[in-house]
Structures are given as structure tokens and as C-alpha cells.
Amino acid sequence: MNIEKYLILLRDKDGKFRDRSKDIETYKNYGKIIKVKFYNNENLYTYTKNNFKIFTNPLNIENKIEFNLGNLYNINKILKFDLYYKIFFNDNSTKVTSIKSLQYNSSENNNNNNNIFDYFKEIANIVSIKTEDGEALLNKAYQKILFVEKWTALYSYLNPSIKPKDKEFNSILIFPFGINQSQYQAVKNAMENQISVIEGPPGTGKTQTILNIIANLIYNGKSVAVVSNNNSATANVFEKLKQFDFDYICATLGRKENKENFIQNQNGLYPNFEYNENDKIEANPNKNKELI
């Protein structure tokens, strides 16, 4: 079926309706049941009207649309099928969502967000490392970003009028890699703020602070991505974690071989870490000052 003219939703085994428009070659309505023929399949499949929805005559709307949970990017077009929007992205992927999930935005704010994002893409296309075919690797990564959720730091960054979110951190703070007063404050800031910047000349304990931030996030069941514009910086963090037997939770990403090696080297044996009451500082400002 022509996916720009028809939207066909079929109910799956989970009871949810999914867009199967591109998979369906033809269908025939027999009143109470509908016979459906899929591409590359000679069989006919029977659906009741409760499990089959079809919409036609879509309305092509402008891209001034905002997802209630965040911003959409790299949009080619948006078609409105009755109670649903079908979003066509530049990478040829599509997304179907109810009209309740999207809102029309005629203000300049959403356009500015897209302009900032497009500006970053253009820069990435110029300064990024190129493949043998001349394709900019960083720009390729930007093309894959279709949606930025409102709770992310990137959303706040692309929306200057929105202040990054602060959060109350009620868990204990741990410092397995040592601590001084400024490092304590840096770790506390990182755990309580959506965006945190740590600066300092060489030898002031920035890496040590990063290690403590990682430890606190892992302690609270989070996943951590350590990213740098050079491999030596991330390798330094990895080696420090390895010294303390934490390398079993550290996966060096990038190449496919790195991911495979990480999975294959998991043997189910973990270091025996002894809990030391002196290694923690509770989230109590008065008590923290006494300990420091």
C-alpha cells in the first residue's frame, strides 16, 4: 500500500495497534472480517474489524509540531490521518502517534530549536572526520537523532529559555577514590544538577572526581557514558577503574569488536568488595562539614 495515502493499523498479540501499511499489498473488506495479503506472502490473513483500522485522505501539515514529551528533528513531512499523525523522517523511517501526543506550535520557539539543531549539523558536516566516501561521521550521528525528550540535558541546551533541572539527591554519597572539600562539592553538584562543569589545572583531581561521580551513579543503579574528544582521556578513566577491579562493568564502545570482547569476557566472577563505613559521607550538610 502507498504509505503516504493509507495508514493501516493492525492489532498485534500484545493487544497494541501497530502501523503495518508498508507490509500490506492488498486487503478486502467482507463486512465483519477483512482479508489481508502481505508482500512476499501468498497467504491471506483474516482480521476482525476490532483488530483492523484503515485511514485514508491524509492532510499534509506544516512541520511546526512539537511532541508533548520533547522535540522532533530531521522531519521530512507530517501527515494527519484522522486521529493519528504519521511522521516521515529524513532517514526514511516513520513514526505513528496519536494527535494527543503532539501539539501544533505556531510560535518561533520551536523553529529556533530546529535552527540551533540544524546549525550544529552543518558544523558537524564541516569539521567532522570523513570516511573514504567523504561522509562526515559526526553529521551521520546527528541524522540519527529524531527525538529529544524534555527531561534530557540536550533539550535544555537546545531551549535556552528553559533552565536545566535541579534535583534533590537523598541518597548517601560515596567516595571510594578519595576526597577533599572541593571534590566533595563537585560530586554533590553533579548528583544534584542536570548539567555540571568541573574545571581545574592538571593535578587538581579532576579524574579522581569523575571516578567518584561514576561510583555514585553506579551505586544508585544508573548507567554512565564517559565521552571525550580523544581516546587517551577515556582510557585514563578506564585504567583507573581497572586498578580498583571495576573494569568488569566498563565497556569500551566504538568498534563492534570492542562490544563483542566485553560481552565475551564476562565470566560471572566478581571482585569481593568489603563495605567500609568510613568510605561514605551521608547527604547531611552539617555532618559533611564535620567529616571534611
Q: pLDDT tens digit string along 158-186?
A: 877 777 667 777 788 999 898 899 999 99
Return all residues near 235 (Cβ < 8 A) that are at least 6 apart.
none
Please say if the pLDDT value at position 258 is more than 90.
no
pLDDT at 65: 59
Domain that holds residue 209: 173-291
Return all residues near 169 (Cβ < 8 A) that are at least 6 apart.
188, 191, 192, 283
The pLDDT-based confidence of 276 (bands split at 50, 70, 90) is low
Of the candidate ranges 38-47, 56-65, 200-209, 256-265, the one whose mean pLDDT is the lowest: 56-65
pLDDT at 98: 85
pLDDT at 5: 94
pLDDT at 233: 87
79 and 101 both lie in a single domain: yes
65 and 52 both lie in a single domain: no
Residue 212, classed as helix, strand or coil, is: helix
Query: Of 108, 141, 164, at which residue does a domain stop?
Result: 164
1 and 87 both lie in a single domain: no
The pLDDT-based confidence of 291 (bands split at 50, 70, 90) is very low
30 touches 47 (CB < 8 A): no
32 and 67 both lie in a single domain: no
Return all residues near 66 (Cβ < 8 A) that are at least 6 apart.
72, 102, 103, 104, 105, 110
Mean pLDDT value of segment 100-108:
60
Top-confidence residue, 203 or 287: 203
19 and 99 both lie in a single domain: no
| pLDDT above 90: percentage of residues in the chain | 33
Of the candidate ranges 123-132, 185-194, 210-219, the one whose mean pLDDT is the lowest: 123-132
pLDDT at 292: 47
Question: What DSSP line would sit under 120-146, residue for residue?
Answer: HHHHHHHHSPB-TT--BHHHHHHHT--
Q: pLDDT tens digit string along 141-160?
A: 887 777 777 778 888 888 77
Q: What angle do CA 149, 151, 157 make, to 5 degrees?
A: 80
Please say if the pLDDT value at position 284 is more than 60.
no
Nearest-angstrom CA–CA distance, 155 and 116 = 11
38 and 53 both lie in a single domain: yes
Number of domains in the chain: 3
Mean pLDDT value of segment 276-285:
53
79 and 137 both lie in a single domain: yes
Long-range pairs for 219-225: beta carbons < 8 A, 24 or more residues apart: 219/171, 219/174, 220/171
pTM of full prediction above 0.75: no
Look-up of cell digits 510560535: 107
3 and 33 both lie in a single domain: yes
